[in-house]
Amino acid sequence: MSTSSFLLPPWPSRRAIVGVFLCLGLAVAAATVCIAATGEAPFLAENDVAMHKMMAGMEIKPTGDVDRDFAAMMIPHHQGAIDMALAELRYGTNEQLRRLAQEIIVSQQQEIAAMRAAVGQPLPAPSAAPTQVPFGEPAPQAGHEHLTHH
């Protein structure tokens, strides 16, 4: 066995690198066209907002109270699940997943209330849990959780 078999392959040429980036660009463009063609863009945009809101809300300054910090991080995490479930109700068509999304909304709201109560935070104003959201209806903004019930 010669020593040349242990050498690293040569660096890729500029032409090969450009080719790789061109292929990646075409793949991203094709994925964008597929998303637009399926009408999934509003769902993905709504979920992106929910995820960013959740991640920002989970970034807390520790207080030294493990229980309070746990609740402070978990409440936005649960709200993120609610927001994502609402997007499923708006845009999803699979009845099993839509029913699961409804259950997620109810259970996560109950857990948020339990965590707030456990650490002495005020509970949100009582409101009915949304069970159905018409297709394509815009997402409720924070503090405006009043949805039309059907």
Angle formed at CA 37 by CA 35 and CA 43, multiple of 5 degrees: 45
Q: How far apart are the first and last CA of the chain?
A: 76
| pLDDT given at position 20 | 57
Say if CB 79 and CB 51 are below 8 A apart: no
Ordered by start, the domain boundaries in the chain are: 39-118
Higher pLDDT, 36 or 90: 90
The arithmetic mean of pLDDT across residues 36-44, rounded, is 78
Residues 100-119: tens digit of each pLDDT: 999 999 999 999 999 999 99
